[in-house]
Amino acid sequence: MSEEKLVNVGRVIHFYPRISVAIVELTSKLSVGDKIVIRGTSTNFEQTVESMQIQHKNVESAEAGQLVGLKVIQRVREKDIVYKKIP
């Protein structure tokens, strides 16, 4: 059984509930296909990054310091932390 490590990759700074998109300020590289965990006071779920945008344009990956829009499967809140799962 392999241990998985969680690495902090960013923080939610806004959430659009109608379209279920979180705006995340990245502190580390994130790519489509990465498995992420989003945690906060009342948030705790896991998903795979399926769609990511920078200024309404689809991107495959983004670097630290960039703001990205992530399609999320549940409600998130400002200040929730985004972690990437490293196998």
Residue ranges and CATH numbers for the domains of the chain are 5-86 (2.40.30.10)
Q: What is the DSSP letter of 55?
A: T
Q: What is the pLDDT of residue 87?
A: 86
Q: Contacts for 42-47 with beta carbons within 8 Å, 24 or more apart?
A: 42/77, 43/74, 43/75, 43/76, 43/77, 43/80, 45/73, 45/74, 46/85, 47/72, 47/73
pLDDT in tens, 21-69: 999 999 999 999 999 999 999 999 999 999 999 999 999 999 999 999 9
CA distance 81 to 37: 8
Indicate if the pLDDT at residue 2 is higher than 80: no
pTM value?
Answer: 0.94
Phi-psi region of 33 (alpha: psi -120 to 50; beta: other; left: phi over 0): left
* 14 pLDDT tier (thresholds 50, 70, 90): very high
